[in-house]
Chains A and B, each alone.
Chain A
Amino acid sequence: MTRRMLGRLANPQLLALVGVLLINWLLFPSFFRVTWQDGRLFGSVIDVLNRGAPVAILSIGMVGVIATKGVDLSVGAVMAVAGAVAASLVVAGYPAPVAVIAALLVGLLCGLWNGFLVAVLDIQPIVATLVLMVAGRGIAQLITQGFIVTFNDPLLIFIGTGSFLGLPMATVIALVLLVLVTLLVRKTAIGLFIEAVGVNRAAASLAGIRSRMLLILVYALSGLCAAIAGIIVAGDIRGADANNAGLWLELDAILAVVIGGTSLLGGRFSVPLAVVGALIIQAMNTGILVSGFPPEFNLIVKAGMIILILLIQSPLATRIAPRRPQRARIGVQRTAK
Chain B
Amino acid sequence: MSRSLRPLLATAVIFAIAYGLSVMQFPGMFSTRVLGNFLTDNAFLGITAVGMTFVILSGGIDLSVGAVIGFTGVLVAVLISWMGLHPLVAFAIALIVAAVFGGLMGLAIHALEVPSFIVTLAGMFLARGGASVITQDSVPINHPFYDWISDLLIRLPGGGRLSFIGLLMIAVFVVGALVAHRTRFGSYVYALGGNTVSASLMGVPVARTTVAVYMLSSVLAALAGIVFSLYTSAGYPLAAVGVELDAISAVVIGGTLLAGGYGFVLGTFIGVMLLGLVQTYIIFDGTLSSWWTKIVIGVLLFLFIVLQRLIFAASAPGEKVAEKA
Residues of chain A touching chain B, judged by Cβ–Cβ distance below 8 Å, are: 71, 117, 121-124, 126-128, 130-139, 141-142, 145-146, 201-202, 205-206, 211, 242, 251, 254-255, 258, 264-265, 294, 296-300, 302-303, 306-307, 310-311, 313-316, 332-333, 336-337
CB < 8 Å: which of B126, B136, B294 contacts A134?
B294
In chain A, what residue has the closest Cβ to B303? A131
Q: How many A-B residue pairs have CB under 8 A?
A: 150
Interface positions, chain B 101-149, Cβ under 8 Å from A, are 108, 111-115, 117-119, 121-126, 128-130, 132-133, 136
Q: Are A201 and B309 in contact (CB under 8 A)?
A: no
Considering the complex, give the chain A residue whose CB is closest to the CB of B197: A336
CB pair B118 A296 closer than 8 Å = no
With A124-B259, A126-B258, A137-B294: A299-B128 Cβ-Cβ less than 8 Å = yes
B245 within 8 A of A: yes
Interface size on B, residues (CB 8 A): 53
Kindly state the separation between the CA atoms of A142 and B121 in the bound complex, as whole angstroms. Answer: 29
Stretch from B14-22, B86-94, B317-325 forming part of the interface with A: B317-325
Docked-complex contact B289 and A303, CB < 8 angstroms: no
CA distance A264 to B301 in the complex (A): 25
Interface string of B23-42 (1 = CB under 8 A from A): 00000000000000000000
A201-B323, A205-B323, A300-B129 known; A311 vs B112 contact (CB < 8 Å): yes
How many Å from the CB of B206 to the closest CB on chain A?
8
List 21 A–B pairs whose Cβ atoms lie within 8 Å, in order of A's numbering: A122-B320, A126-B117, A126-B258, A127-B258, A127-B301, A131-B298, A135-B295, A135-B301, A135-B302, A141-B291, A201-B323, A205-B323, A251-B124, A300-B125, A300-B129, A306-B119, A306-B125, A307-B122, A310-B119, A316-B113, A333-B113
Q: Does B95 reach chain A (CB closer than 8 Å)? A: no
* Contacting pair B114 A310 (CB below 8 A): yes
CB distance from B100 to the nearest CB of A (A): 15
Residues of A within 8 A of B206 (CB): 337
Residue contact A134 to B115, C-beta cutoff 8 Å: no
Contacts of B123 in A (CB 8 A): 303
B196 contacts chain A at the CB level, 8 A cutoff: yes
Contact A310-B108, Cβ < 8 Å, known A134-B294, A300-B133:
yes
Given contacts A122-B320, A126-B258, A315-B113, whether A299 and B297 have CB atoms under 8 Å apart is no
Q: A132 and B298: CB pair below 8 A?
A: yes
For the complex, give the distance between the alpha carbons of A255 and B133 in Å: 22
Nearest-CB distance from A261 to chain B (Å)?
14
Look across to chain B and name the residue whose beta carbon is closest to the beta carbon of A248.
B241
In whole angstroms, how far apart are the Cα atoms of A307 and B120 in the complex? 10
Chain A's closest residue to B259 (CB) is A124
Residue of A nearest to B321 (CB): A202
CB of B284 closer than 8 Å to a CB of A? no
With contact pairs A316-B113, A337-B200 given, residues A123 and B122 touching in the complex (Cβ less than 8 Å)? no
Of chain A, the residue at the smallest CB distance from B119 is A310
Q: Which of A142, A205, A310, A333 contacts B118 (CB 8 A)?
A: A310
Q: How far is the CA of A123 from the CA of B124 in the complex (A)?
A: 25
B301→A134 contact, CB < 8 A: yes
Cβ contacts under 8 Å, A311 to chain B: 112
B49 smallest CB distance to A (angstroms)? 15
Question: B298 — nearest CB in chain A belongs to which residue?
Answer: A135
The answer to whether B295 and A258 have CB atoms under 8 Å apart is no
A298 near B295 with CB under 8 A, answer no
Complex CA distance for A90 and B108, rounded to whole angstroms: 49
Q: Is B175 an interface residue (CB 8 A)?
A: no
Chain A residues closer than 8 Å to B259, beta-carbon distance: 124
- Which residue of chain A lies nearest to B295 when distances are taken between CB atoms in the complex? A138
B245 engages A333 (CB within 8 Å) = no
Most buried by B among A71, A121, A122, A296: A296
A69 nearest CB across to chain B (Å): 10
Min CB–CB distance A278 → chain B (angstroms): 16
A294 to B131, CA, bound (A): 13
Known contacts A127-B305, A205-B325: does B113 contact A303 (CB below 8 Å)?
no
B221 within 8 A of A: no
Does B293 interact with chain A (Cβ within 8 Å)? yes
Pairwise interchain contact A130-B248, C-beta atoms closer than 8 A: yes
B234, CB-defined interface residue at 8 Å: no
Report B-chain residues with C-beta under 8 Å of the C-beta of A128: 305
Given A123-B305, A128-B305, A303-B129, answer yes or no on A138-B197 (Cβ-Cβ < 8 Å): no
**Pick from A126, A211, A254, A294: contact of B61, CB under 8 Å:** A126
Q: A134 with B245: in contact, given A202-B323, A310-B118 (CB under 8 Å)?
A: yes
B residues less than 8 Å from A137 (CB atoms): 291, 294
Q: Given A127-B252, A139-B295, A332-B197 in contact, is the A258-B129 Cβ separation under 8 Å?
A: no
Please give, as numbers and ranges, the residues of chain B lying within 8 Å of A332 by CB-CB distance. Answer: 197
Once bound together, how far apart are the Cα atoms of A316 and B297, in whole Å?
Answer: 40
The contact string, 1 if C-beta is below 8 Å from chain A, for chain B 284-300, is: 00000111111101110
User: Measured between C-beta atoms, what is the minimum distance from A240 to chain B in Å?
Assistant: 14
Tell me if B83 counts as interface (CB < 8 A to partner A).
Answer: no
Contacts of A124 in B (CB 8 A): 258-259
CA distance A138 to B242 in the complex (A): 14
A133 neighbours in B (Cβ, 8 Å)? 245
Does any Cβ of A come within 8 Å of B218's Cβ? no
* A132 and B298 alpha carbons, distance in the complex (Å): 7
Contact B201 A258 (CB under 8 A): no
Q: Are B297 and A121 in contact (CB under 8 A)?
A: no
CB–CB A316/B112 < 8 A: yes
Q: Is B152 an interface residue (CB 8 A)?
A: no
**A315 and B112 alpha carbons, distance in the complex (Å):** 7
B249 at the interface (CB under 8 A from A): yes
The answer to whether B311 has its CB under 8 Å from any CB of chain A is: no
**Smallest Cβ distance from A117 to chain B, in angstroms?**
8
**List of B residues within 8 angstroms of A316 by Cβ:** 111-113
A265–B124 Cα distance when bound, in Å, is: 21
Pairwise interchain contact A296-B129, C-beta atoms closer than 8 A = yes
Instruction: Output the nearest chain B residue to A71 by Cβ-Cβ distance.
Output: B117
Q: Does B13 contact A (CB under 8 A)?
A: no
